[in-house]
Each structure stands twice: as C-alpha cells, then as structure tokens.
Amino acid sequence: MIEAPLNATRRRIASPDWADDIFRLPAPVGPEFDELAVDTPVAEWSQARRDTMAALRAIKPRHKLAVLCVARNEAPHLAEWIAHYLAIGAEKIFVYTNDNTDGTDELLRWAATCTPVVPIFSSAAPGVNIQHRNYAHALLLLPELRLYEWVLVVDADEFLIPGAQFDYRLPTMLAAAPAETHAILFPWRWRLYDRGFERKPGLLAENYPHATPHCLFKTVTRLRHIISLQDVHFPHLEPGCTIRDTAFAPVDLAAIWGKAHKTDAGGWIDHYWGKSFEEFLVKMRRGDHLGPDGIRNYDQFFGWTGQPMTGNLSLEPEPVLASMKRELARLEAKPGYRELRARLESRYAEYAARVRNDPELQRIHQEYLRKYPSPAAAARTLACGGTVAP
C-alpha cells in the first residue's frame, strides 16, 4: 500500500528545488500508513523501499541538528520543551502528534507560524503502535528531515543537557565528536517526584531538582546511517557504525542493554516521567500500546520514584536554565501566545477540577500512598533489573 507514497517521495526529491516547499506543513499521516508499524527486515524490503532509502540517503544535509518527537496531550509543558531544545541548539523540531484533547494541536499550529517547529498530525487504526508507525514514516516519507545531518529522537518529557565543555550546546558537541562517530548515547537522569495529587505551577526544570541515574538512554544519530527507528532508545544502524558514549569512548554493542549506567561526562537526558498524579492520569490513558491492558498502571507511578535528598540533588545547570528562559520569553512575546496560553490553562483547569472532584481517584491516590508509604521504599524499584523498571 505504501508503494505509491514511496514513488511520490522519490519523484519529489528528484527535483533540484524540492526543498523550496518545506515551509508547508507536511500532509497528515493516516491509517493508510499503518503497515509501517511493523518493522520489516532489510532483506524483505520492496524495491520501491530500497530505491527510496537510497534516494533519501543521497540528500546532502544543509543543517546540523533536528529533533524528532511523537507527542500526545503535552500542552502543559510543551512550550518549555520547545524552548529547551532551541536553547541547546536544535535547528528544527519535527513533532508527530495524534488524538489530542488538551490543546496540543492548537499550540503546535501556532508554533509552526513563528518557530522552527513542524507538526505532523496523524491518526491510526485501534491497536496500532502509532509511535513506531510515525517514526517509520519520518524515516521513509519525510524528506525534510534529511536536510539535517543529525537527528535526536526523544519524548516530550525528555530534556537533553549537553556538557559544560560544549557550552551546553549540542551542535558544538557534535562538531567535537571524532569523525568516525555515527551515534552518541545520552544516559537518563530519572527526575524524582513527590507523588502529589495536583500539578505544580512553574517549570519542570525548577519543580523537580532531584534525580537518580538510570541505565537507559536515548541517542543522537547521523541520519543517513539509520535503517530503522523501531527501537526508540537506540536505532538500528548500518553495519560497521561506531557508537560512542558522551565521553566519546566507543560503546560495545553487545553490552549496550546492560544494567551498568552509561557515562554522563559529556551530557545526559533529564527524564521527567513522573510529575503529579493528575498528570499521570493523562499518561495512563494515552499509552495504548503499553502492556496487555493498554495503560500504564498505578504501581508504576507510585513506585518509580525516590526520596529527594541532598545526595541526589541534581540542579539543571544555570546556563541551560537561563538560556531556556530566554527562549521561553521570546515565545511568550510572540503575537497570540498569551491568549493561547490562557485558553490552554483554562482547558487544563477544567480537566483538573473533574479529577480533583472525583472521589474514586482521590481514594486510589490515598490507597497507593499507603501501599508505598515513602519514596525511599519505592526507590528500590528504580534500579535497572529491579521489580519494575521504566
């Protein structure tokens, strides 16, 4: 079914002026692309797919760095996330999004008019892993992405922090990497949260100042060497590629999924998986490919954190925070933002009021606080290979 779009993509990029139309929003991605959710081994690629990948890899990048994300119902913190990635040097931010009810669509459409954010609106049939499908679409059918040498694939609750030695700028770090570098692993710092019921006002970077290391990671990768993005933590690369940690030491692929923490000497990713209970309820209801019940579970929210203490205080570097705030102020000063933000906050307040006035949800919150009486006890589950692991 995707043969026709593949052929159309090749015809489009065959024109020397094809990139002149990149300022148009990409067309919506619907269920007609759902077959891409299933990873196809290279040996089974159709000739059209082989030809399209060859044509895409032949595109000469014009820019250094793009960010690629799949996001759903992320309106409360999406402006901070966008400002953060602009602050560390992202030149374009591609966001696939679907089934939003909180104003995320409206925010992304506004951002597309005045920032380097490109939303791609999508839908899929029930049961389809839309994240896998959308990333496969980006790799095969979004030639605009190929104008960037490197791509960082992250979620909307993941904030990459390049090291001080690179002036906290990711393009500076990529320029400093050894020539034979095809991907760099950035380990997670799992941001600890207090399991409170109500959403905290303000910035994530200031509301959650404690973190613990985690063995999982995300990667920034030279795009032309990627074969598949089915594993969102680490892409399937061409044979012979060199993967490095943030200190630029080669990483043994045989040990990449081991429980040992990867070095954060050159940077890391702050992962704000948990925030308030009412925000977690949004996460539960959008994770339609996560487990047999199609939702996150309460044990994860109450168990995947730890006790904030002096030993795990991990403040965001002040230069990064200051730069992000400057970018956020620029966003807030653009026409229409304040009115948009007021509408989004009003919509969230309506949702929060329904949740806070629901006695069953209040009961569940109290029940699980009794089950997990302290974050210190719950912290044991954070270790990779523990009873539950993110």
Measured CA to CA, the distance from residue 345 to residue 338 in angstroms comes to: 10
Please give the C-alpha separations between residue 153 and each of 165, 192, 226, in angstroms, as whole numbers: 23, 22, 12
Q: Which segments of the chain does DSSP mark as H helices, in order?
A: 3-14, 47-57, 75-87, 104-114, 130-141, 170-176, 204-207, 277-286, 298-303, 318-333, 337-356, 359-371, 375-378
Per the structure, the count of domains in the chain is 1
Q: For residues 73 and 100, give the distance between their C-alpha atoms in angstroms, rounded to a whole number.
A: 5
Mean pLDDT of 51-80: 97
Q: Is 328 inside any structural domain? A: yes
What pLDDT is stored for residue 55 in this prediction? 97
Range of the domain at 173: 3-382
* Mean per-residue pLDDT, 47-63: 96
- The helix (run of H) or strand (run of E) holding residue 16 is none
Whole-number pLDDT of residue 378 = 47
pLDDT tens per residue across span 27-44: 999 999 999 999 999 999
Angle at 91 between CA 114 and CA 144, to 5 degrees: 90
SS3 342: helix
What is the model's pLDDT at position 256?
87
Residue 293 has pLDDT above 50, yes or no: no
In the block, tokens 């925000």 appear at: 279
Residue 381 clears pLDDT 90, i.e. is over it: no
Whether residue 159 is contained in a domain is answered as yes
- The answer to the question of residue 265 being in a domain is yes
Q: How confident is the model at residue 149 (pLDDT cuts 50, 70, 90)?
A: very high
Structure pTM? 0.95
Residue 281 lies inside a defined structural domain of this protein: yes
319 located within any domain: yes
Residue (of 216, 226, 214) closest to 139 by Cα position: 226
For 237-276, what is each residue's pLDDT tens digit?
A: 999 999 999 999 999 988 888 877 889 999 999 999 999 9
Residue 145 falls inside a structural domain: yes
Residue 388 in domain:
no
What's the mean per-residue pLDDT of the chain?
92
Rounded (10°) angle between helices 104-114 and 337-356: 160
Q: Give the residue carrying structure tokens 């570097």.
A: 317
pLDDT at 289 over 70: no
pLDDT of 332 > 60? The answer is yes
Residue at 101 is within a domain:
yes
pLDDT of 128 > 60? The answer is: yes
Tokens of 25: 């929003």
Q: What is the pLDDT of residues 185-226, one digit of tens each?
A: 999 999 999 999 999 999 999 999 999 999 999 999 999 999
Evaluate if residue 144 carries a pLDDT over 90. Answer: yes
